[in-house]
Structure 1
Amino acid sequence: MNVQPLQERQLFQMKRESLEKRICQYYEETQNSDVVIEYGMALLVRNAMMMEDYSLMCKDLIRQIFLTCRPSERMREFCLYFYDYFEYEEWEIVRSRLFKSRAEFSEMTRLVRPDMKYFRVASTPTFDKFDEVLAYAIKSWSEKSREKAFEEKEDFYFSFKAVFEDDNGKKHKLTFSKNADICKSCEELFTLMEILTRLTIFQKNGVRRFRDIVETECESIVSQEIINHSKRKKRGQELRKSLIK
């Protein structure tokens, strides 16, 4: 069976169970551990952006790769992001396998340590945050409109649209749909999107699709589904969220 590499559509839209199965099938056929690690990084971003639970995806496979596969530069570069996948004793084994010393590990991970708080399982959003996101989205509305919105909150959806330039300067959109945590700070959103520019898996015909973030065109989108004469319609409002730091 010829398993094709996964693209952004699968990584950011497929349901959890089906996606984990596809990634495991890909690894079984290719044994390409670096690509699977990059898939894992994309899924960490998805989990950090969405209120649905995409935490610890492909946990057993990721653990197997770090604990048994030949160390690579991609494993060294991204290992710290997967800290939650391991028990402490296992993590010490991973660290020892990938780095010659604690000093080398500390130097290699020094710059990314401040960003870890955005990726840890305990800090990623859940549906418990829905009311906070809705309050943020409608904060400029009148008091009466805000009250009505909370009465109809099940009709609201939140999306975040990121825009990137590829190696040829062409723009590409990536949308985190329906239940995105749009009340994140600009710094956090930039950090999450910047991860995608470091991955090699998002290519077409050798052209990187996510080379640079187009910061001024990224935006949050609030949609309300309205039932009118038995037909569902969506009313949307864009909340432009510049990611300029």
Structure 2
Amino acid sequence: MTTAKYVLSSRQINTMKRTSLEKRVHDFHSESGNDVYTIQAVLAVMIRNALSTEDFSFLAEDLIRKIFLTSKAVHEIRLSCVYFRDYFTDDEWKKVKNRLFASEAEFEQLTKRTELYIEKLRPRLISKARPTEKKTNMLSYFKDGNGKRHSWSLSNVNPDITKEEHYALMSILSTLNIFHKDGVQRFAEPIYADFTIYEPSFDRRDEEAAAELMKNAEQLLPLDASLSDAVESTEAAFDTQIENATEEEAIIETQDEDTIVAESAEIIDGFPSKYLSEEEAQALHDFYTAGFDPSTISEEEKAEIAFRATLDERPMREIQQEMEKEKVRDQEKAEAAAAPAKGKKNLTKQERKKLAQEQANKVQRNKQNKWGILSQIKKRGGKKRK
């Protein structure tokens, strides 16, 4: 069984930089020859362009024009041509319509509704870069083909869009049938979407900024050292840290989520995480941590949430909400067991003992859960590296 060398999934489409993504589209088409998939993938890129601060307009323009002008397979999705009208000259557009439709009347009849739908969206679909002053991400939710809810995250977006336009873009995404998981269509129906604006704080990755930040911190003494030893060792440690620390070493202790994403990328993406670009790694980090608030939970709970999220390929916030609901249900069950309803007999000594044992077993399973998942990640990841 052979494996495709070039993958063109939703993750690649929504995390790669333009140059890398354009090359990936060409490589995928060259290997697969799949005209229909390629057209839909580039339409998904157009939706990203409509939301993004970066320029993804007219991606793979020559390839798209060639497919519509020569491919027989494109007849399967002939209505998609209206999204790419701006890719063609007037003469080329006439040829496209003549190839795909029996007459001008048929073209107008079949595409009128779509053209009216995207009329206000067209400038966004082909817009150039639209940068913003503050970094903004989008977290949206869809129903899949089975009616199950899942999330989709996009980083570096421009929130200057009406809710009607936003919903319209998500609805276009739901018309594509190329994104599946376990044979189930992923983006069947949009539910809701939010924007998250990030306010930057300190950043020690810049040497000058690090020196300024640590100017006063140098006066801080270790709690278990004598005065003379503490002053000498602290000054030496900070000097060495500034001179020798790499960017990765400077931030590794404060970015546990990044480490988790990097280690689990082999399972999620199907290839070693070392092949992820910096932009892809950052996009994965943004996806997993969007809206996640670790301030109200313990380190143990945070680790369990992170591992569940990477294995299920869902945001940590979504996992956190599920765990909170589980706690409420467990509490309600415990209260119900402790206070039997009126008219019901009290639990016998044997029944109480059995209930207590079940609760103890559940606590033990929860403690073992995160270590079992971590072991699985390391085991599967280790096989990849051989």
Tell me the TM-score normalised to structure 2 length.
0.50
Residue by residue over 1:148-171, the C-alpha shift from the partner in whole angstroms, topping out at 9 and shown as x without a partner, is: xxxxx4xx2112211111123332
Give the corresponding residue for 1:105.
Answer: 107
Name structure 1 gaps, 5 residues minimum.
Answer: 131-152, 239-245
Q: 1:116 to 1:73 in 2, by over 3 A?
A: farther
Residue by residue over 1:165-189, the C-alpha shift from the partner in whole angstroms, topping out at 9 and shown as x without a partner, is: 11233322212212x1212111100
- 1:3 paired to 2:5: yes
CA shift, 1:200, in A, is 1.2
Give the corresponding residue for 2:200.
Answer: 225
Give the corresponding residue for 1:163.
Answer: 141
- 1:16 paired to 2:15: no
Select 2:36's aligned residue among 34, 37, 53: 34
CA contact (8 A) 2:6 2:27 kept: no
- Mapped to 1, the partners of 2:128 and 2:166 lie a distance apart of 13
- Mapped to 2, the partners of 1:196 and 1:123 lie a distance apart of 16
SS of the residue corresponding to residue 224 of structure 1 reads coil
CA contact (8 A) 2:42 2:59 kept: yes
Identity across the alignment (%): 33
CA contact (8 A) 2:36 2:73 kept: no
Tell me the TM-score normalised to structure 1 length.
0.77
Give the corresponding residue for 2:69.
Answer: 67
- Mapped to 1, the partners of 2:180 and 2:125 lie a distance apart of 31
* Greater fraction helix: 2
The aligned runs of 1:91-240 (5 Å cut-off) are: 91-114=93-116, 115-120=118-123, 124=127, 126-127=129-130, 130=132, 153=133, 156-178=134-156, 180-215=157-192, 218-227=193-202, 229=213
Q: 1:112 to 1:34 in 2, by over 3 A?
A: same
* Greater fraction strand: 1
Q: 1:32 to 1:108 in 2, by over 3 A?
A: same
- Mapped to 2, the partners of 1:185 and 1:221 lie a distance apart of 16
Q: 1:74 to 1:220 in 2, by over 3 A?
A: farther
CA contact (8 A) 2:144 2:188 kept: yes
CA shift, 1:237, in A, is 8.5
CA shift, 1:117, in A, is 3.0
SS of the residue corresponding to residue 200 of structure 1 reads coil
CA shift, 1:225, in A, is 1.0
Residue by residue over 1:173-213, the C-alpha shift from the partner in whole angstroms, topping out at 9 and shown as x without a partner, is: 212212x1212111100110111111111101211111111
> Which residue type is aligned with residue 124 of structure 1?
S
Residue by residue over 1:103-156, the C-alpha shift from the partner in whole angstroms, topping out at 9 and shown as x without a partner, is: 11101111111213313368636336x3xxxxxxxxxxxxxxxxxxxxxx4xx2
Structure of greater relative contact order (alpha carbons < 8 Å, 6+ residues apart): 1
* Root mean square deviation, CA, Å: 2.6
Give the corresponding residue for 2:301.
Answer: none
- Mapped to 1, the partners of 2:113 and 2:142 lie a distance apart of 23
CA contact (8 A) 1:158 1:221 kept: yes
SS of the residue corresponding to residue 60 of structure 1 reads helix
SS of the residue corresponding to residue 45 of structure 2 reads helix
- Mapped to 2, the partners of 1:21 and 1:85 lie a distance apart of 18
Q: How many residues align?
A: 209
